[in-house]
Amino acid sequence: MLAASTGPGSGGAPGHDVSQFDTTQARKQWQVIIKRFMRHRLAVAGMIVFTLLVLFAFVGGPLWLHDYKTTEFQRYSPPSGSHPFGTDQLGADMVAQVMRGMRFSLQIAIIVALLSTAIGVVLGAIAGYKRGWADAVISRFIDLVLVIPGLVIVVVLARSSFTTSVPGASNSNWLVVTLYLAMVFWMSIARVVRGMVLSLREKEFVEAARAMGGSTPRIVFKHILPNTVDVIIVNATLAVALAVLVEAAISFIGLGVKPPDTSLGLLINQNRNELNLHPWLFFIPFTFIVSVSLAVNFMGDGLRDALDPRQRRVRA
């Protein structure tokens, strides 16, 4: 007759300790998210490329051989060992110029993403949770403005007298361009957050928080918005890519960043007439714009899959 217990110290026949085979460990949510993201090959590639571009823009300048202010080199030199991207019409090294333009483009895009996300999340949460007149005012304003393409709004703002009325804008206007873009980008994020808050405000945990006397800011920021963080992160990531493209577009037509500041779009604008004779001056900054946009979009796609609790399959 077999012993009733086979574990050690049970008083029966000696046996194996079952606990030694139980090696299953509960993984934390952030570990699951990282694993899902790392399985998304394009997202990982995008993250690597974006990291390299950021290092190229913000760290490469002090380490590079030539300064962007130096114009003593031969004009229109093709790409070579000493000047991998060649030189421009003033005799400046294009690697240094692209680094500087990339730095301005990225800092504009990142600030736009942060500002627009913050504004959109707050106003979207107010509209979705309070409803009533607050929802009506915010939603109708968003609907009215979204009828007009965002690029048109930015162009109109850039041509307005507001640019010359801002102290220091005539000398350095990249921050003004950043504010213009943020004024447009927050609306789409606000609509997404509003829709999610409308759904979450009826959940049991929100009702319980209200019953316990929780204030509106506490309920919104501690209980509701944390459940929308996946959507917020993805939209903020995609806002970076869109800001890079829109800034490049308005700078290309001469209504965005102006000297002494620069950006990738401004570099393309300054070299648009060199496309036939010196094509590298046009295509090199253009390639960097496309690289930033693709890398950030791939990262956003991977974050969406990783943060979605309903996602079971991760695309390679």
Q: Which of 50-54, 89-93, 146-150, 186-190 has the lowest mean pLDDT?
A: 146-150
Joined together, the tokens standing for residue 168 give 């220091």
Q: What is the pTM of this model?
A: 0.79
Q: Averaged over 272-301, what is the pLDDT?
A: 88
Fold classification of 36-55+96-307 is: MetI-like fold (1.10.3720)
What is the pLDDT, as a whole number, of residue 295?
93
22-79: pLDDT as tens digits: 454 556 777 778 888 888 889 899 999 999 999 999 998 888 888 888 877 888 888 8
Please spell the DSSP secondary structure of 255-268, one letter per residue.
SS--TTS--HHHHH
Task: State the Cα–Cα distance between residues 236 and 307, nearest whole angstrom.
Answer: 14
Q: Going by C-beta distance under 8 Å and a sequence separation of 6 or more, which residues neighbour residue 154?
A: 180, 181, 184, 246, 250
| Mean pLDDT confidence for 268-277 | 84
Has residue 167 got a pLDDT over 50?
no
pLDDT digits 0-9 by tens, 212-252: 887 888 888 888 888 888 888 888 888 998 888 888 888 88
Mean pLDDT, all residues of the chain: 80
In the chain, at which residue ranges do the beta strands (DSSP E only) sit? none
Domain range list for the chain = 36-55+96-307
Alpha carbon distance 236, 117 (integer Å): 6
Q: What is the CA radius of gyration of the chain?
A: 27
What's the CA gap between 259 and 274, in Å, rounded? 19
Above 70 in pLDDT, residue 168?
Answer: no
Number of Cβ within 10 Å of residue 302's Cβ equals 26
* Cβ(290)–Cβ(245) below 8 Å: no
pLDDT of 170 over the 50 cut: no
Contact 220, 129 (CB under 8 A): yes
State the pLDDT confidence band at 93, using cuts at 50, 70 and 90: confident
pLDDT at 122 over 60: yes
Provide the CB-side half-sphere exposure for 306 (13 A, CA). 26
pLDDT at 39: 87
